[in-house]
Structure 1
Amino acid sequence: MTPGELVGCKDGRTVSVVVPAFVGEMPAAAVIDSVAPLVGTLVDEIVVADSGPREDRGGVLRRALATTTGDLVVFLDGDVVDPDPADVSRLLGPLLTSPGVQLVKGYHRVPAGGSRLTELLVRPLIASLCPELAAIIAPIGGDLAGTRDLLRSIPFAPGHGVDIGILLDTVAEHGIDAVGQADLGVRELRSRPLVELGPEARQIVVTLLERLGIEDSQAPLTQFLPEDDGYRCVQTFPVPARSEEYACRESHSART
């Protein structure tokens, strides 16, 4: 449906769009510019959430949610070179037109193949531990939309475990039928070194296990990084705080 058609489906509900801007990632200006023409019609507010040097994804999303006012909240990936203005409409469509849908996960078709974390880590874990999620194309994707009531009821997980945590919590409380999916078209993904993906994978694993009631060792991730003629051993466990602490942090978000 077009943005104009979806405006007629709002029925008094308001919409907030959150664009996280993380340290070290590309500027989110292009994403903000793509959403700005919708403000005053389909979108009621845009919240830009910048992260501090030590703040992780889960903390930024939880803090940003606390600054929004919309009945429906859309989270967009801010690290996009050529964002599609239609992404907001696609994510909102199932929420506005399908009663019972509480969460919408966006997915992209990637010419070079899917996300390495998704294909090599998350899908095998889902097949083994929670096969009811097998039909979700992008279980850890960062583009999503949900009702305010749902998102405020979920204890956002720290770090990069937040997205799989939101999905698992939604299914646990409302069933798989409460989850919709939105095709956001074709997008080229930024290639990242494997060493950067390891800590993210560790965060995803610990959240998935905790949500399923499986005890995690809480041991750090050990990585061996090439250095000179040998390796440098690095241990990381980048889950800096529990989710309930996030709401207490000072807000640095900006609303437009």
Structure 2
Amino acid sequence: MHPIAIDWFSRRTSSWRDWPADELLDAKGDTMVSVVLPALDEEPTVGEIVTGIRTLGPIVDELVVIDSGSVDRTAEVAAAAGATVHHRDDILPSTGSRPGKGEVLWKALAVTKGDIVVYVDADLTDFRPHFVTGLLGPLLDDPGTLMVKAFYDRPLLDLSAAGGGRVTELAARPLLNAHFPELAGVVQPLAGEYAARRTLLESLPFAAGYGVETGLLIDTYRRHGLDAVAQVDLGQRTHGHQDTAALGRMAATIVHTVNARVSPGNPLWPTLTQFERHDSAAVPRVTPVAHPDRPPMRSIPGYSPA
């Protein structure tokens, strides 16, 4: 590991147990906290997560679910559990609407008002309130901390307990280690649970789809230095898993996100070809995987926190 990454890991890594909820409430003061769940067809899990977050009481000022085009009852279940629900197409309609995770995280800035925004994936099957308090701790403790990434054990097949998911280990980590070795101490760069100051988020571009976490991490490091980032061990996290082909498309998007930051003048081929079997024939499936970033929200005419 790069010496800078080793030093950062030792200084900027903590456990959720280091940030008890009662102490955070004292540290919070008048800081506003928004929790955002991006959701696409998460009817089985989103209600329980919303209910769990609401147990945090005054620590969380605002709880918002952004529906990314669900065809199930995600919106109804989330609203019944106590969340404010917005559909991505209804937010900033003048900017249009795109599919993918990066879009809903970006648009969430326009319908929330928190000084700190906490993102939590809506497919968790074992959500616990410390997923939020752990991420808030370093931000409330140190004004120099701008972003906090989660990491956790992810029980799945033969994964090492402390490692990342398959896309992390096969794509994101090798790319980051090669191009940004100072970030090698980030245990799970693709973690969907992270928190950041609004002033940071509204100043950064948001990469499309599943490239969003990688882009935000790289851009935060480049603009503000490694110590602007901290990470917290949240224990164990379980969630639904995608098939290998879907993970391949996710990895391809991340490759494009990294390349856009390493070599912006040399774009990669914009599609990924995969193969499906139909009867006795292998049939190609071509998917666009290169999409433009959304610009910093601060640059959008008329933007102001909700």
Q: Where does residue 8 of structure 1 map in the other structure?
A: 26
Instruction: Tell whether the 8 Å contact from 2:202 to 2:296 is kept in structure 1 after alignment.
Output: no
SS in 1 for 2:202: helix
Which range is displaced more, 223-232 or 17-26? 17-26
For 2:142 and 2:212, locate their aligned partners in 1 and report how far apart those are by CA, in whole Å.
25
The Cα of 1:219 is off from its aligned counterpart by 2.8
2: distance between equivalents of 1:158 and 1:174? 22
Distance 1:238 1:124 in 2: 19
Asked if residue 226 in structure 1 is aligned to residue 283 in structure 2, the reply is no
* Correspondences of 1:177-192 after superposition (within 5 Å): 177-192=227-242
In the alignment, residue 48 of structure 1 is paired with which amino acid?
V
Find the partner of 2:64 among 40, 47, 61: 47
Q: CA deviation at 1:25?
A: 7.2
Structure 1 position 55, deviation (Å):
2.1
Whole-angstrom CA distance in 1 between matches of 2:63 and 2:240: 25
Q: Does 1:33 align with 2:83?
A: no
Q: Count matched residues.
A: 248
Q: CA deviation at 1:108?
A: 1.2
**Is there any run of 5+ residues in structure 1 with no aligned partner, and where?**
249-254
Match of 1:99 in 2: 143
1:21 is aligned with what amino acid? Answer: A
Quick one: distance in 2 between partners of 1:110 and 1:197?
Answer: 16
Aligned residue number for residue 263 of structure 2: 213
Match of 2:243 among 193, 202, 215: 193
Q: Tell me by how many angstroms 1:189 deviates.
A: 4.2
Q: CA deviation at 1:3?
A: 1.4
Aligned residue for 2:277, secondary structure, equals strand
Q: Give the distance between the partners of 2:168 and 2:293, measured in 1 at CA.
A: 24
In 2, distance between residues paired with 1:207 and 1:20? 20
2:119 counterpart of 1:75 = yes
Q: What's the Cα RMSD here?
A: 2.1
**151, 172, 175: which is aligned to 1:125?**
175
Cα separation, partners in 2 of 1:245 and 1:236, compared to 1, 3 Å: farther
Deviation at 1:132, TM superposition (A): 0.9
Residues 274 and 286 of structure 2 are in contact (CA less than 8 Å); yes or no, is this contact kept in structure 1? Answer: yes
1:167 aligns with 217
Q: How far does residue 245 in structure 1 lie from its aligned partner after superposition?
A: 9.8
Corresponding position of 2:76: none
- Could you report, residue by residue, the CA deviation over 1:216-236 in whole angstroms, capped at 9, with x for unpaired residues? 223310101122222110111
Residue identity opposite 1:211 in structure 2: R
Query: Could you report, residue by residue, the CA deviation over 1:148-200 in whole angstroms, capped at 9, with x for unpaired residues?
Result: 10000011111111110110110011111110101111123433211111211
Give the 3 Å change call, closer, same or farther, for CA 137–88 of structure 1 in structure 2: same
The gaps in structure 2 that reach 5 residues or longer are 1-18, 71-97, 301-305
Q: Deviations over 1:58-106 (max 9, x none)?
A: 1111111211101111000111112011111000000011231100001
Which residue among 80, 101, 124 is the counterpart of 1:57? 101
Out of 223-232 and 239-248, give the one that drifted further: 239-248
Distance 2:257 2:193 in 1: 19
Tell me which moved more, 210-219 or 239-248. 239-248
Counterpart in 1 of 2:83? Answer: none
In 2, the alpha carbon distance for the partners of 1:156 and 1:83 equals 26
- Cα distance in 2 for partners of 1:157, 1:188 equals 25
